[in-house]
Amino acid sequence: MKRAACFGIALVLSSAAHAAASFDDVRAKWRSSDWVLLARDGTPLQRPRVDTHARRGDWVALADVSPALREVIVASEDKCFYEHAGVDWRGGVGQSVEHAHARRIDGDDATDQSHRR
């Protein structure tokens, strides 16, 4: 049990060590899946979708998003978000322990099996 908990903590810490792209980098590389056809006076006439593989809308300021929608998004991602201040250490360790226990019962997991094929 202690070994699994230590493994879980090490896994979480090692994944946090990999640097994520900054907000500015992500926003600079973002491209809308639509383009806007403008009239001569600059008013939008049409907004056809040019990328059919993904739907990426316009950037919206957080202040322009309704508080109810923000709450729903946070709740759908992590119902205990406000209890652990952003990082659920207990949940991460619990997931690692469950994963280790499932591997002992089931043998190899699906990703290990797919890598051997």
Q: What is the pLDDT of residues 49-106, one digit of tens each?
A: 888 888 888 888 889 999 999 889 888 877 777 777 677 777 777 788 787 777 665 5
The range of the structural domain enclosing residue 49 comes to 2-116
Domain count, the chain: 1
pLDDT of residue 107: 53
- pLDDT tens digits, 21-46: 888 888 888 888 888 999 999 999 99
Q: How far apart are CA 113 and CA 28, in angstroms?
A: 38
CA 12 to chain centroid, in Å, comes to 15
Per-position DSSP letters for 79-106, written without gaps between them: TTHHHHTT--HHHHHHHHHHHHHHHHHH
State the Cα angle at 22 between 21 and 25, rounded to 5°: 85
Q: Is the model's pLDDT at 10 over the cut of 90?
A: no
